[in-house]
Structure 1
Amino acid sequence: MKNKLDYTSPEVQYSFDVNKSHLFVKDDQNLINILGIQQLNSLENVSLLDIFLSKNNVVEPHYHQNAAELVYCISGAAVVSIMNAFTNQILNFPITKGQVANVPQGWWHYEVATEDDTHLLAIFDADTPEVILGSDILKFTPANVMAHTYCLDEQEWKNTISPIQPSTYIGPYKGCENNGNPVSPYYHQKGTYYARQFSGYPYYY
């Protein structure tokens, strides 16, 4: 959608310091800055997230309901993992400096840093990168609905998800017992990257 601005107005903005626009900060090595139309009013069909990660940190599983995403690696290295919405296959794409991975609109995905000082730029074809986070789905879906739908014990489900914080954005949490045991998110077979499986479930680190 075209941005209907009066480009003769002195209120039109043409530049912005993304470093001053924090979406989420875990610590000084793991943070996400945002640029959208709320920050720069002359934007049209583009926005971005400026992502900094240290090794084994994860941009949590999520999807963007309003935009496709192109993930560009500025420095370091990461694995961009995508669930193909047509096959339900988890596809894993390792990227390093100068490489990209493309995430179609609405596809479930996550990014794992495989080196310290990883810097990613996520570019969207919308003026605001809307998002639905895995942590919010898990935390805000009523426990009785999850239990009934998936034949779970409701109290066990509540206990299991109790450590989850809404809008996690970057995991794992500080002090997480799994921090010292990161697991590779992919293995290589016949030229394609597949999700490593544990007890039948994809492992997200």
Structure 2
Amino acid sequence: MSVNPASPSFQLFGDSTQSVNYKRDSYNYITQLFSDQLPAIHTGLFNVHLNQGIIVQPHWHTNVNELVFVISGEVITSVFNPFTQSIMTYHVKPGQASQFPKGWFHWIVALRNNTHFLTIFDQPTPDIVYGSDFLRFLPKEIANRAYCVNEAAYANAIAPINQSTILGPPLNCNQHGGTMNHPHHVTQPSPTTHPYIDLSPPPTPY
């Protein structure tokens, strides 16, 4: 978008809290600040609020690098390195940042209630490919042909995924016979290994 700084309508202020991108419930939601809210901006960001155990589901971006900056609470960020065939995992606290390179598969898990972080992009409009969409649209016959996965088992496993999922687990997770586990204790991981995650029932939001 071309912006004329000499125009009377030119402004250098935007409010990310006024534009809701996605809302799971009143404790877990994403707002945004992109060129629609601030025409002069040449980047963009999501303003993310999560409670403990909620995940920004696995996904990737085809056109942007992403920076995660934690304001309050704690998160675990994980990203698949396609060159080393390994998952790089980081325990990120307030004032710390983690990066996802363009095209790399990644996800974020909140470790505390009232976690707040920004995901900042180097382009004004990020493309997003959701892992939930890949799973639900992959035909069971192709899963069997490609990976020798039992067709019926695959179809049953992905049955709860009936729409794009941005923040998980879905609110109806237990209705489908799934489990809603969450990490509440994480030891400090090395940058290239998974942390140990102790699983227990999720807390009741307050």
- What are the ranges of 5 or more consecutive residues in structure 2 without an aligned counterpart? 197-206
Aligned to 1:77: 74
Check the 8 A contact 2:112/2:184 in 1, yes or no.
no
Amino acid at match of 1:182: H
Q: Counterparts of 2:79 and 2:103 in 1: how far apart (Å)? A: 11
Q: Is the 8 A contact 2:111 2:183 kept in 1?
A: no
Distance 2:99 2:69 in 1: 9
Q: Which residue of 2 aligns with 1:165?
A: 162
2:116 to 98, 119, 124: 119
Shift of 1:43: 1.7
Q: State how far apart, in whole Å, the 2-side matches of 1:12 and 1:85 are.
A: 42
Q: Report the number of matched residues.
A: 193
Residues 136 and 158 in structure 2, CA contact (< 8 A), matched pair in contact too: yes
Structure-2 residue corresponding to 1:202: none
Q: How does 1:25-64 map to 2 (within 5 A)?
A: 25-44=23-42, 46-64=43-61
Is the CA contact (8 Å cut-off) linking 2:90 and 2:191 kept in structure 1? no
Give me the whole-angstrom Cα distance separating, in 1, the residues matched to 2:67 and 2:96: 10
Gaps of 5+ in 1: 198-205
Tell me the residue number matched to 1:194: 193
- Residue pair 2:188, 2:195 contacting (<8 A) in 1 also: no
Distance 1:188 1:9, change over 3 A: closer
- State the shift of 1:109 in Å: 0.7
Aligned to 2:17: 19
The residue number in structure 1 matching 2:148 is 151
2:124 is paired with a residue whose SS is coil
- Aligned CA RMSD, in angstroms, stands at 2.3
Which of these residues, 4, 7, 10, is aligned with residue 9 of structure 1?
A: 7
Q: Is the 8 A contact 1:146 1:152 kept in 2?
A: yes
Work out the percentage of aligned pairs sharing the same amino acid: 33
Partner of 2:200: none
Q: CA deviation at 1:152?
A: 2.6
* In structure 2, distance between residues paired with 1:18 and 1:175: 29
Query: Shift in Å at residue 192 of structure 1?
Result: 4.4
Measure the CA separation in 2 of the matches of 1:108 and 1:148: 23
Query: Hey, what's the Cα distance between the residues in 2 that align with 1:192 and 1:12?
Result: 43
Post-superposition Cα deviations, 1:15-50, rounded to whole Å, max 9, x if no partner, equal: 222112111100111111122223322222x11011
Counterpart in the other structure of 1:182: 182
Deviation at 1:185, TM superposition (A): 9.1
Shifted more, 118-127 versus 141-150: the winner is 141-150
Match of 2:100 in 1: 103
The correspondence for 1:142, drawn from 139, 144, 147, is 139
How much has 1:11 moved relative to structure 2? 4.5
